[in-house]
């Protein structure tokens, strides 16, 4: 970028930060895989789904399935037990290395650290 533009953008961000218009925070953001960037809430189209729906997604040639909750069970290592997990992104399960449970949920307290 042009050095003058870099200075102008930096100055604009510093001023907005000083006014509290922008701030740093740990929050969920809307991530665009196509843009490889976070996008604002106003740029997101919210759509209520009533079940399995195929939708176009920027950056993908084929439509992507949404609106399906899939449940499957993980066996607990060294035990004759399993824990059922439900997800809308079942394709990510192959990369799972652990299951997080709420520490105050009595159904799973005996599994913490297993």
Give the model confidence (pLDDT) of 1-14 as tens digits: 799 999 999 999 99
* DSSP assigned state of 76: P
**In residues, how long is the chain?**
114
Strands (E), 3-106: 30-32, 37-39, 53-55, 64-66, 70-75, 82-87
Q: Round to whole Å and give the CA distance between 89 and 58.
A: 18
CA 56, CA 72: separation in Å to the nearest integer? 27
CA distances from 57 to 15, 33, 93 (A): 36, 9, 21
Strand partners, 84: 73
Task: Identify which has the larger pLDDT, 33 or 71.
Answer: 71
Q: Global pTM?
A: 0.51
């Amino acid at each position: 970028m042009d050095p003058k533009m870099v200075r102008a953008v930096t100055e604009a961000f510093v001023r907005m930060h000083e006014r509290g218009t922008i701030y740093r925070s740990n929050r969920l953001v809307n991530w665009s895989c196509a843009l490889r960037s976070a996008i604002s809430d106003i740029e997101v189209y919210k759509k209520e789904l009533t079940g399995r729906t195929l939708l176009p997604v920027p950056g993908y040639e084929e439509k992507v399935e949404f609106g399906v909750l899939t449940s499957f069970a993980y066996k607990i290592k060294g035990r004759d037990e399993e824990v059922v997990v439900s997800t809308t992104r079942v394709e990510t399960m192959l990369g799972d290395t652990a299951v997080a449970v709420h520490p105050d949920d009595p159904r799973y307290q005996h599994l913490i650290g297993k």
